[in-house]
Amino acid sequence: MRDDNAASALSDDELEAIRDSVRALCQDFPGEYWRKLDEKREYPTAFVTAMTESGFMAALIPEEYGGSGLGLTVACAILEEIHKSGCNAGAIHAQMYTMGTVLKHGSDEQKSAWLPKVASGEIRLQAFGVTEPTSGTDTLSLQTTAVKKGSHYVINGQKIWTSRAEHSDFMVLLARTTPKDQVAKKGDGLSVLMVDMRDALKDGMTIRPIRTMMNHATTEVFFDDVKVPVKNLIGQEGKGFRYILDGMNAERTLIASECLGDAQWFIKKATDYANERKVFGAPIGKNQGVQFPIARAYASFRAAALMVKEASAKFDAGEKCAEEANIGKMLASEASWEAAEMCVQTFGGFAFAEEYDIERKFRETRLYQVAPVSTNLILAYLGQNVLGLPRSY
Ligand SMILES: Cc1cc2nc3c(=O)[nH]c(=O)nc-3n(C[C@H](O)[C@H](O)[C@H](O)COP(=O)(O)OP(=O)(O)OC[C@H]3O[C@@H](n4cnc5c(N)ncnc54)[C@H](O)[C@@H]3O)c2cc1C
């Protein structure tokens, strides 16, 4: 995604200053703000605007395209602080990794046309259309087709769980350009297209929101003869699956950082409460039955953080990092869930009252063991690709 080593060039003090700025910005968006949106399942527009204007969301976009040209380590720190502050980056984080597909595989013309506008916020690149209802994790079996007719691809099919589609101007879409039974290599035949959703909405694209257990602005998207200009094809036709796989290490490491942020939020909440809350004349944290789960959640968070840090450091150094990104994502999503569970138990009944934000964060953090990749698929990757065990699929 980047050629230089800008991230490692940042000193600890500089990174800490970025973390401080993110924390300061997040103070304008307290629990009450998120609670109100959660109740109505509304998009956090004010938060997204503030984050975009601050430039934090353009951390990975190179300076020549209007971003700050920082590395994954910095981007991870930004997302971690957002979540540690009790906010949620789910409304905006996709820009960080979808942009990578354009940056790495797009032409100079495409990069110059889109990336500066993504960096400034003029274009919202928040939608990522990969998952489909019938194929699920088996991406190579996706059914949406893009058929070239003259100067356009004509898209037909359906995507599911396309988050933020209603709040995005463009979608990075993965569609089949060559039928599965006609490709030379198993991974061929899928292509990445940049869909201008503003045009597509007038030309056969329909978005249907899905109400979920947390406020995530996710949707189903239907394509009915939607035309996308051939010039919006990213890279080579038929090589799109590889391009999407390429971006997954960054995506997994960024999401893992959000989990680390969540874990710290739950641990802080529980620690404060266990010190304050007196039952039977003593703080509940004095009881090992309360104290040890907090300590264990902290240990899990620290261990996961080491792996996530290794993943981002390797990514920034241009080294292979799929193993670390996958392990980091799995451990961090499990650590945040462990911390969430522990926090509910520490608070007892009050955990269930909306005003404490615990039940909301509990619902939010559960997602990450399923999306953007489920734990089983990470274990299958490790078993099959790292350890050399037989393939299950
Ligand atoms: C809120 C939300 C937002 C999302 N946002 C987006 C988005 O913006 N864009 C997008 O493209 N997708 C998005 N997704 C989709 C997400 O990436 C998928 O839900 C996830 O990858 C799992 O796929 P699936 O739901 O189809 O599960 P399935 O593939 O149907 O799998 C179901 C279960 O079976 C297990 N399983 C399947 N195959 C195997 C196997 N071979 N071995 C062992 N276990 C297996 C899985 O681990 C899983 O637990 C989102 C999902 C959610 C819930």
In order of their start, the domains of the chain are 6-120 (1.10.540.10), 127-241 (2.40.110.10), 246-386 (1.20.140.10)
Neighbours of 39 (CB within 10 A): 11
Task: Give residues (CB < 6 A) around ligand 1.
Answer: 128-131, 136-137, 161-163, 212, 216, 218, 367, 370-374, 376-377, 380, 392-393
Ligand 1 atom nearest residue 377's Cα: 47
Beta strands in 178-318 (DSSP E): 190-196, 205-209, 219-229, 233-234, 278-279, 282-283
Q: Whose CA is closest to atom 35 on ligand 1?
A: 376
What residues have CB less than 8 Å from 209, skipping those under 6 apart? 166, 217, 218, 219
Regions of the chain where pLDDT drops below 70? 1-9
Residue range 54-73, pLDDT digits in tens: 999 999 999 999 999 999 99
The alpha carbon of 212 and the centre of ligand 1 are apart by a number of angstroms equal to 15
> Do 296 and 271 contact (CB within 8 A), yes or no?
no
Q: Whose CA is closest to atom 3 on ligand 1?
A: 161
Question: Among candidates 326, 337, 332, which has minimal Cα distance to 376?
Answer: 326
Ligand 1 atom nearest residue 164's Cα: 8
Is 20 buried (19+), middle (13-18) or exposed (0-12) by CB count in 10 A?
A: exposed
What is the reported pLDDT for 4? 42
What residues have CB less than 8 Å from 101, skipping those under 6 apart? 172, 192, 234, 243, 244, 246, 247
What is the reported pLDDT for 2? 41
Instruction: Look up the pTM and report it.
Output: 0.97
Residue range 6-29, pLDDT digits in tens: 444 689 999 999 999 999 999 999
